[in-house]
Amino acid sequence: MNGAGNDFILLDNRQGFLSLDASSIAYLCDRHRGIGADGILLVEWADQEGLRMVYFNADGSRASFCGNGARCFARFALETEQQNVACGRLSFLTDCGKVEAWVDGERVKITMPSAKNLKIDLPISLNDRTLNGHIIDTGVPHVVLFGDYEKWPEAALQDLGSEIRWHNVFQPEGTNVNFVWKAGERTIKVRTYERGVEGETLACGSGVTASALISSVILGMDSPIEVFVRSGERLQVHFRRTEKGFEEVFLEGPAKKVFVGQIELP
């Protein structure tokens, strides 16, 4: 499945028989030797709590949340658990807590984890420059940078993204990095370097959300904010600003099936 170009291998583990180690996950996500994906979603049962989403990055590391992955998970869950779902609405557990989702065909809207650790204008000293980054955690940590990044070569974005991702300020877990520029009164464009993938992806749901929330602070944008990602697809971030930060944050966008198949692990 893919959410705005952010692609995932979704495995149904409701019977609990599947066990994957980091090397198996990396093999499955390898675009040359495996299926190829930005990450893996496991569908599991959480005892009496219902369905649980477990997410792994392409390098085999477990992540606490994935926004586009959660939207793909919601569509799959709705279509496979129809007897438990009414009116296109469902909820499921993640490592960041419960997520509510609304599914209308390929359009899926979810609640996002409470945004935290907001820091504006944090100086980031690099090898050849110092940048002011804006920090926020939208389920996973993100840095947001504003600038003329639309025409940057992929290699240049890769180098800068990697340098910030591994910067000692953000260790030990590291950070995702979003390169943002304004495209309209309530519209931004975003390119995201994702940790775990260790490169630029076509979209990142938590990064889109982080970029939109920071844009409301830095650029004065009101909800909803429309966000275009590298794939050319459009997502929307809905939120309510408060004195303490943000409440009622939602991410909305496409979630599509690509194919169903089988693969043998080595």
106 known member of a binding site: no
176 known member of a binding site: yes
Q: Retrieve residue 91's tokens.
A: 């909820």
117 known member of a binding site: no
6 known member of a binding site: yes
139 known member of a binding site: no
DSSP string, 19-39: ---HHHHHHHH-TTTS---SE
205 known member of a binding site: yes
**Active-site option among 66, 72, 87, 96:** 66
Give catalytic status of residue 29 as yes or no. Answer: no
Phi/psi of residue 11, each to 5°? -115, 130
- The 10 Å CB-count burial string (b at 16+, else e) for 180-216 is beeeeebebbbbbbbbbbbbbbbbbbbbbbbbbbbbb
**Active-site option among 29, 72, 96, 204:** 204
Radius of gyration of the chain (CA): 18
168 known member of a binding site: no
Give catalytic status of residue 66 as yes or no. Answer: yes
- Binding-site sequence positions for substrate: 6, 57, 67-68, 176, 194-195, 205-206
- Binding-site sequence positions: 6, 57, 67-68, 176, 194-195, 205-206
Known catalytic residues are: 66, 204
